[in-house]
Structure 1
Amino acid sequence: MKGKYKFLGILFFVLFVLTSILTFFKLVSLNNFLKNLNIEDSLKFSDDIIFLCFFLIFIFGILIFYFSIKDKKLKLEEIVEKDSFVLEEEKKILEKEEIDYESIVDEILENLKEEKNYIHFIEKLFHNLAKSYKIVQAVFFTKNKESQEFENKVNYAFYSEEGVKNFKIGEGINGQVAKTKKILNIENIPKNYITILSGMGKSSPNNLIIVPIVKENETIGIMEIAAFTKFDKNIEIVLNLISKKIATFL
């Protein structure tokens, strides 16, 4: 495309130069006709001059139009190429930023693959999560099939004289999570509000995430984790994948 524009530019330039030279010689030869001009020759000569002048103006206008279009075309191509480059770079960045959640989960569970006892598995899991996501407290519940209550089985950095109260599906915030089977991520909980809301004693972390353990469309466990930092969407995805691993133990 650029080669085509270059050829047309050269062609128009040559025509412009030839027309200019021809007009120049016509004007110079005017002196040779002025002495012996009759009316007919004068009119003919004038017509030639007028024609050449208009033709020259026409060619000059074409050149201006052509170079104007060419400049806009080149600028447009430059913008398109730049946008294409930016889009390609953004695509590469997104590909680099794409998170392999399965690998993250495998890394967290690396030292738990041989663990057969689910209690020990959860205890080690909480320790690993504390290293990875700086959790400060965690509580784990399993559902008693006979009483239909969720009972506290594992605690991490949690100490309370009263202990953790059992609950049934629909009771309290944990019961609601068991009912909906969906992760609940609570941010900016007021100081000491967790004590009332979740039974995590007198600690005051202001971020809480509650993860249901679902097996065959039934909630069979609840994992409750607290931290001073927010749990983002990436952590939610990781915990959801981990919950599926836990379900195989229960």
Structure 2
Amino acid sequence: MIELKTPAEIERMHVTGRFVADVLSEVARLADVGVNLMDLEHHARGMIKRRGAVSCYWDYAPSFGKGPFRNVICLSVNDAVLHGLPHDYTLRDGDVVTADLAVTIDGWAADSARTVIVGTAAEEDLRIIRATEEALEAAIDVARPGNRMGDISAAIWAVAQDYGYPVNTEFGGHGIGRTMHEDLHVSNKGTAGRGMKLRPGLTLALEPWFAATTDEIVYDPDGWTIRSADGSRTAHSEHTIAVTDEAALVLTRP
């Protein structure tokens, strides 16, 4: 069931969103050559505990995962793009790191992701990150009353096409509110003018992610970490938004 949120409920999600943005900004600042992924995981745990927030990932056990997820943040490196399981890995110069975080505060969720480069940045890595960021902004721009869900998907796909990146449709955006995943799947590829009409109070997590040269994915033996099937570099950008009477309100903007 799709639940439209009241302005007061959206503001409560906004409180959570601001905190998620703060944690991701801190993780991005700390991600440097010589830093272990588990250091970033434990830093995020500390921030969540001090705030009194609740991780949406801890004990998360969907059908595609391998057992419950026992970490509070997804950290995906280089050809990994989604659900990266934090582990004993020391970051190297030129690594591409995606941090994805979802928590609840007082019963309301927010979800966001950003990709950063450790140390020396290769132009092709900057390019794919820029593509996901532009696709996310294009999706947010069309998330207005009267438009349709397909307009969001088409906006993301159009940016991917402009950059020449293929699009995987197995994982995309989703509804969000009282839980991390509510009804509605938001594909990163679609046709404008189709799908459900957007209405004020609709809250969504929009998350374009691309791999440089493939739309196929593979799973690590950990059962969680999703990588590009051909080993090409990846990037992922995500915001939680609320459809309002006018422009969409971004709830996880730093």
Considering fraction of residues, name the structure with more helix: 1
User: Which of the pair has more CA radius of gyration?
Assistant: 1
> Fold match, TM over 0.5?
no
Considering fraction of residues, name the structure with more strand: 2
